[in-house]
Amino acid sequence: SRGFCSICLSIKRKILLGACLGHSLKGCINYSGIDYATGKLYYVTEWNISYSSLAARNLKVSEFIETINYKVQALTKLHHRNIVAYEGVLCNQENDSVQVILIQEFILGISVCSMSGGCFNWNVESVSSMAKGILEGLIFLHNNGISHGNLCDSSVFLDSSGIIKISVSQVIIEGNSLL
């Protein structure tokens, strides 16, 4: 456990890392985070991409970091009720890896993946509402030149207000394929 530490993003924010929310099977670690100045909650995802996995794909470290920064910067400009908001990214070069820390909107809710376990009351109205939210989010992305690339039940969330939120995983997928 890392405990609490602060992350200074290029957007001039200090994010205090909170509790570990879980470890992905694909190697990332998820934390809660709180903006030191405003108290706003964030979802923080951390990956460690080894230099050897970058080299195996003929990727230079500097180009990898530049690409991640460029993509997240583009995502921070997208605002739609059905898309998870992205706040920024921090890439640190370590001894044997690149640490990528992604800061995004904290969703108080549940993933569709977790809902499919049987605790959710699936009816025509709820499925229709979910499909509408997903389609509106995807249309927004496509109208902004972004293809989701990997829509799955673990990248779609239902927040506590009943709003569907899609996590845009195009940045994450490349990171996961390098782990």
Q: What is the mean pLDDT of residues 126-144?
A: 93
CA atoms within 13 A on the CB side of 14: 7
What pLDDT digit, counting tens, does each position of 100-113 carry?
999 999 999 888 87
pLDDT number for residue 147? 80
Q: What is the mean pLDDT of residues 34-53?
A: 91
Confidence of residue 119 (pLDDT cuts 50, 70, 90): low
pLDDT number for residue 3? 42
Q: Is residue 61 within 8 Å of residue 49, measured between CB atoms?
A: no
Q: What is the mean pLDDT of residues 16-43?
A: 87
pLDDT number for residue 93? 92
Nearest Cα to 14, choosing from 46, 42, 53?
A: 42
Angle (CA) 146 147 153, round 5°: 125
Q: Give the C-alpha distances (Å, rounded to integers) separating 44 from 67, 100, 102, 131, 173.
A: 19, 10, 6, 27, 16
User: Taking 80 as the threshold, does the pLDDT of residue 4 lie above it?
Assistant: no
Phi, psi dihedral angles at 101 (to 5 degrees): -120, 115
For residue 124, give every residue at least 6 positions away whose Cβ sits within 8 Å of its Cβ, in sequence order, or none.
Answer: none
**β-strands 156-159, 109-111 pairing:** antiparallel
Count CB-CB contacts under 10 A for residue 104. Answer: 22
Angle (CA) 112 118 124, round 5°: 70
**β-strands 6-8, 164-166 pairing:** unpaired
Among the listed ranges 21-35, 65-79, 133-147, which one has the minimum average pLDDT value? 21-35
Average pLDDT of the residues of the chain: 84
Among the listed ranges 39-48, 68-77, 116-125, 140-149, which one has the minimum average pLDDT value? 116-125
Token pair listed for 30? 């998820």
Rg (CA), the chain: 17
Phi, psi dihedral angles at 164 (to 5 degrees): -75, 135
DSSP 83: B
Q: Is residue 9 within 8 Å of residue 103, measured between CB atoms?
A: yes
Among the listed ranges 25-29, 77-81, 108-112, which one has the minimum average pLDDT value? 25-29
